[in-house]
Amino acid sequence: MLNIVLFGPPGAGKGTQSEYIIEKYGFIHLSTGDLLRGEIAEGTALGIQAKQNMDKGELVPDSVVIGMIGNKVKANPEAKGFIFDGFPRTVAQAEALDVLLTENNTAISGMISLEVKEEELVTRLLKRGETSGRADDKDESIIRNRIDVYNNTTTPVADFYKGQDKLNTIEGVGSIDEIFQSITTVIDAL
Ligand code: B4P
């Protein structure tokens, strides 16, 4: 089983590249953002709570996302691998993921971190906001708050995997195909 953490700031291209990765490798795509938006669309208690955080560009509590990911991993014991997109976003989530995968006799194979400068992220997300209907893509101050949360709370997750010698950094600016080629080079070497 090959398990990959696809990492990077909001708008780095994680969701975009995940679609190409699952198409080529047949991994199961676990996006906490998508799972949370699914809960919101269904109007569950979890979704109602999560929306309050997401609309402000804040993180949803660790216990919520860890529980969601745990359920999905346990439900797919025969998977060829998982692509974790937008998770873990805190060191506590990364530690919980290690425990969860060990319990399921597997581990993270590598992290792929997409590097994109802040102004490009803001431009991309405002553009997506024209069509996505996402409250967190509409307002520049909320987008900048998401980037601040990433810089303050999420970047230590890259150090966590660097400490395990699993960090691979990729330039996230360029055509989607070029970036995907760089990602496949990393995955094929794992
Ligand atoms: P996510 O759904 O993970 O959203 P995201 O960070 O905006 O990344 P996304 O994957 O959607 O965007 P992408 O870079 O592909 O999180 C949303 C919210 O959910 C968080 O703020 C938080 O509140 C909550 N949440 C999620 N996970 C959580 C967790 N683990 N813990 C706590 N809270 C959590 O694409 C962006 C745009 O760029 C697209 O329009 C795309 O077309 C464009 N793009 C992509 N690649 C490009 C390229 N090479 N060139 C130009 N444009 C490109």
Residue 4 pLDDT level (bands cut at 50, 70, 90): very high
Provide the pLDDT for residue 116.
Answer: 98
Q: What would the pLDDT profile of 71-91 be if each residue is shown by its tens digit?
A: 999 999 999 999 999 999 999
Q: What would the pLDDT profile of 99-156 be if each residue is shown by its tens digit?
A: 999 999 999 999 999 999 999 999 999 999 999 999 999 999 999 999 999 999 999 9
47, 52, 55, 61 alpha-carbon torsion, rounded to 10°: -80
Provide the pLDDT for residue 80.
Answer: 95
Alpha carbon of 181 to ligand 1 centroid (Å) = 20
pTM value?
A: 0.95
Whether 10 is in the pocket of ligand 1, judged by its Cβ within 6 Å, is yes
Q: Whose CA is nearest to atom 26 of ligand 1?
A: 33
Pocket test for ligand 1, best of 14, 16, 35 (most atoms within 8 A of CB): 16
Class of 2-182 in CATH? alpha beta
Provide the pLDDT for residue 83.
Answer: 98
Provide the pLDDT for residue 72.
Answer: 95
Provide the pLDDT for residue 11.
Answer: 98
Provide the pLDDT for residue 10.
Answer: 98
Measured CA to CA, the distance from residue 24 to residue 64 in angstroms comes to 30
Per-position b or e across 55-72, b if 16+ CB within 10 A of its CB = eebebbebebbbebbbeb
Q: Whose CA is nearest to atom 19 of ligand 1?
A: 33
Q: What would the pLDDT profile of 157-187 be if each residue is shown by its tens digit?
A: 999 999 999 999 999 999 999 999 999 999 9
Measured CA to CA, the distance from residue 166 to residue 153 in angstroms comes to 19
Residue 17 pLDDT level (bands cut at 50, 70, 90): very high
Whether 66 is in the pocket of ligand 1, judged by its Cβ within 6 Å, is no
Q: What would the pLDDT profile of 30-71 be if each residue is shown by its tens digit?
A: 999 999 999 999 999 999 999 999 999 999 999 999 999 999
Pocket test for ligand 1, best of 35, 59, 175 (most atoms within 8 A of CB): 59
